[in-house]
Amino acid sequence: MEDLSYLEIFRQRWLAILVAVAAGVVSAALIAFSIPPTYTATATLFLVVNDENSTLAERSQFSLARVNSYTDLVRSSNVLRPVIKDLELDLTVQELSSMVSATNPNSTVNINITARAGSAADSSAIANAVADSLSQLVARVENFGTFTVSLDRLIPALTPVAPSAPQKTVILGLGLLSGLAGGAIIALLLARFDRRIRSVNDVRRATGLAVLGAIPRRHRRSARDQEHYELDAAVTETVTRIAQANGGGMPRLLLLVPTGHKSGAPQVRLALAEAVAATGRQTLLVESETTNDESSPLAEFAGGPGLAELLTGSSTLSGVIRIVEDAGSFVVPAGIATLTEAQAQASFRSVATQLFADADVVITQIAPVASPVSIQLVAPYADVSVIVVRHNHSTEVELAQAVSQLRIAGVRPIGVVLVEVPRTRHLHLMATWTPEDFATKPAKALITPRRIAAAKRPPAG
């Protein structure tokens, strides 16, 4: 996360933010539309004090001294019982008391009676009735001595045209803000704990390796020429960069190591083989595992002989080589024979010798946990090893596991190829390369297969 700006983090995890915003708005909407509406109406009373023998100042002083005490009477039973009776309300005094309130603005002789109810008509009727009842109570208890006190309804309560609560716009706005805040927090937490590979920096941080290629996602149902052109161009560039990282030479055996099962799509290695063959080199793709992807061009060879038969000695190379018509590539399928680890170790060198005699470049893919044809068996024969990482799916743990398997075999991978990269994702690979990422001369395999004196023959059809 330290390598990414907040804007980049939010851009990568926009879906989490969108889900959080949607959840916030939907929750706010449920709350806003489930709360019963409340209508508020207010009536204003004006205190009038009369006394022919007192001055204006004395009457004013008396009014200000008494008016604030009247607000406490609003919720008394002496005021509310007549209201319940007059309006025929199905309420108790306590229930009606929770619906009304009174305030006295500072330095005034006004009393504002506020009523809240479930309907607009009830709120105004209750406010006016409470105001009248309070006025009658004050007239009974205060009119003694020299002063005559009355509370006149100065401003009657009007029927409200809209509910005062819930304030749906405010609630929805708060839901939107809470969703954005929650989405941002979720995005930051995902960036902190989510170890999926999303960028070149993620690869560097986990392994120190360079990203040599970024192959875009293939849309199976798409027939647009532009997408096919971009895909072919990306694969061709990847092959060129692998050769550049290998000191300018194309490897005899290119080992692909996928990080996870879904990283090693058959279409990727088949496209790489096709791109190498386009350079004029005889290219042979050797499958170590039977593909389960029925949409793959290699699926038609799943039930036939292949590498397993070569390693057990039950078939010859000419008997197992197949050609993929659409790609124009030669393939050795995985085969169907039962193979033990001991058989694979005993015969792999002679099989590799046959493969090298029939092809300029051999491409194979071995998963980190594959058996009996494992990384430890094949890697020492490979000139170049490349790790295949699926963008936004492979994790740093899976990447580190693949690197560890190669290093256990005594081989250091030259780089990483990102696959399934979204077409909207532009990775600036060249800006991340260092001189240490490129060898000065082609690498040599730790184990060299025996040389065959006979002239190289073309792959059998």
- Span 163-182, average pLDDT: 92
Start-to-end CA distance of the chain, whole Å, equals 51
The closest alpha carbon to 385, from 252, 200, 270, belongs to: 252
Count CB atoms within 10 A of the CB of residue 1: 13
- Span 454-458, average pLDDT: 45
- Span 153-172, average pLDDT: 91
* Whether pLDDT at 426 is above 80: no
Q: Which residue has the higher pLDDT, 454 or 43?
A: 43
Output the CA–CA distances (angstroms, integers) from residue 276 to 178, 242, 273, in the order listed. Answer: 53, 11, 5
- Percent of residues, the chain, with pLDDT higher than 70: 91
- Span 149-161, average pLDDT: 90
* Whether pLDDT at 362 is above 90: yes
* 328 Ramachandran zone, left/alpha/beta (phi>0; psi -120 to 50): left
In this prediction, residue 1 carries a pLDDT of: 43
In this prediction, residue 403 carries a pLDDT of: 92
Confidence of residue 211 (pLDDT cuts 50, 70, 90): very high
Confidence of residue 133 (pLDDT cuts 50, 70, 90): very high
* Whether pLDDT at 242 is above 80: yes
- Span 91-113, average pLDDT: 91
Count CB atoms within 10 A of the CB of residue 112: 19
Distance CA 282, CA 274 (A): 10
In this prediction, residue 453 carries a pLDDT of: 44
Distance CA 318, CA 355 (A): 10
- Span 105-116, average pLDDT: 89
In this prediction, residue 303 carries a pLDDT of: 82
Q: Which domains does the chain have, with CATH numbers?
A: 6-35+166-192 (no CATH), 39-155 (3.30.70.1130), 197-437 (3.40.50.300)
Confidence of residue 231 (pLDDT cuts 50, 70, 90): confident
Confidence of residue 424 (pLDDT cuts 50, 70, 90): confident
Peptide bond into 166 cis (omega under 30): yes
Confidence of residue 28 (pLDDT cuts 50, 70, 90): very high
In this prediction, residue 181 carries a pLDDT of: 94
In this prediction, residue 263 carries a pLDDT of: 75
SS3 labels along the chain: CCCCCHHHHHHHCHHHHHHHHHHHHHHHHHHHHHCCCEEEEEEEEEEEEECCCCCHHHHHHHHHHHHHHHHHHCCCHHHHHHHHHHHCCCCCHHHHHCCEEEECCCCCCEEEEEEEECCHHHHHHHHHHHHHHHHHHHHHHHCCCCCEEEEEEEECCCCCCCCCECCHHHHHHHHHHHHHHHHHHHHHHHHHHCCECCCHHHHHHHHCCCEEEEEECCCCCCCCHHHHHHHHHHHHHHHHHHHHHCCCCCCCEEEEEECCHHHCCHHHHHHHHHHHHCCCCCEEEECCCCCCCCCCHHHHHCCCCCHHHHHHCCCCHHHHCEEECCCCEEEECCCCCCCCHHHHHHHHHHHHHHHHHHCCEEEEECCCCCCCCCHHHHHHHCCEEEEEEECCCCEHHHHHHHHHHHHHCCCCCCEEEEEEECCCCCCCCHHHCCHHHCCCCCCCCCCCCCCCCCCCCCCCC
Q: What is the mean pLDDT of the chain?
A: 86
- Span 340-344, average pLDDT: 91
- Percent of residues, the chain, with pLDDT higher than 90: 51
* Whether pLDDT at 454 is above 60: no
* Whether pLDDT at 246 is above 90: yes
**Where is mean pLDDT largest: 148-152, 177-181, 185-189?**
177-181
Task: Write out the two tokens for 296.
Answer: 């793959």
SS3 labels along 234-300: HHHHHHHHHHHHCCCCCCCEEEEEECCHHHCCHHHHHHHHHHHHCCCCCEEEECCCCCCCCCCHHHH
| CA R_g for the chain | 42
- Span 86-113, average pLDDT: 91
pLDDT, tens digit, 9 for 90 and up, residues 253-295: 999 999 977 777 888 899 999 999 999 899 999 998 887 777 7
- Span 129-142, average pLDDT: 89
* Whether pLDDT at 237 is above 90: yes
**pTM greater than the 0.85 cutoff:** no
- Span 196-202, average pLDDT: 86
The closest alpha carbon to 360, from 250, 223, 241, 235, belongs to: 250
pLDDT, tens digit, 9 for 90 and up, residues 41-63: 999 999 888 776 677 777 777 77
